[in-house]
Amino acid sequence: MAKVLITGGTRGIGRNLIEKFASNGFDVATCSRNENELNKLIKHVNQKYPSIEFVALQCDVSDKKQITDFANNILKNFGTPDILVNNAGIFLPGTLSTEADNVFEKQINTNLASAYHLTRILLPEMKKRLSGFVFNMCSTASITAYTGSASYCISKFALHGFSKLLREELKNYNIKVCSVMPGATLTSSWDGTSLSKERFIDPAELTDLMYSIYKNSNTMNVEELIVRPHKGDVNDTNYNE
């Protein structure tokens, strides 16, 4: 069966993607930092989808050594993924002039460098197959400058740039590349928000759409998937200073 690797799978969009692919019989690998959450996820997936291979490893994707070891471990013990989803990411609010000194590095390392290092290691094996799919979990913050999301926006604009570059490099290898750019999606990233859930994208709806894009891309490459909540962007005052 085809294999999918999704970073950051214990919550939110990554978790929904695991359910979507596992329920369709794909073998799945994932990672995150919290060991307890990983163990709970392993138990859940093994019980619900006993026929698939499921691998969930502890890895802080923002750490170059850890993401490198994870990538090599995947190639050796899980196999070359047919689908890679660079999903793990964090949102730390702030404005350029007032955010703490390490907020930039944290988000660049988690949201951008992780995808760069992981993809670079997997790519030579993926290219040999002349097929495959890479989703890069960008954001509407990859194309819109939101006040109060300074370094987050910078990291997501850069991830979209990485994705566009990858698309060009992989045109002749039949590996599709898609920048997924959702607006506010109801996950733990929004814990504590005062907004009603109607103002958000349902993560299951988003991941259904991603799965459909994967399944229906033979002669075409959906390069950019831009989706916003039905009523448009939210502007949560919790995120403004």
State in angstroms the smallest separation of the CB of 201 from ligand NAP. Answer: 7
**Complex with ligand NAP: residue 80 or 110, whichever CB lies closer:** 110
CB of 217 vs ligand NAP, minimal distance in Å: 20
Closer residue to ligand NAP in complex, CB, 7/80: 7
* Four-residue CA torsion sign, 20, 26, 31, 37: positive
Residue list 40-69, contact with ligand NAP (CB under 6 A):
59-62
Residues forming a β-bridge with 227:
182
CB atoms within 10 A of CB 56: 23
What's the CA angle centered on 78, arms 15 and 33, to 5 degrees?
45
Residues in 82-121 that interact with ligand NAP by CB under 6 A: 87-91, 110-111
Please, what is the minimum distance in Å from the beta carbon of residue 105 to ligand NAP? 12
Contacts of 150 (CB under 8 A, 6+ apart): 94, 95, 96, 99
Beta carbon of residue 89, minimum distance to ligand NAP (angstroms, whole number): 2
- Applying CB under 6 A, which of residues 5, 137, 178, 213 lies at the interface with ligand NAP? 137
The catalytic residues are 152
Return all residues near 51 (Cβ < 8 A) that are at least 6 apart: 25
Scan for tokens 């944290």, then name that residue.
Answer: 106
Residues lying near ligand NAP in the complex (CB under 6 A) are found at: 8-14, 31-34, 37, 59-62, 87-91, 110-111, 137, 139, 182, 184-185, 187-189
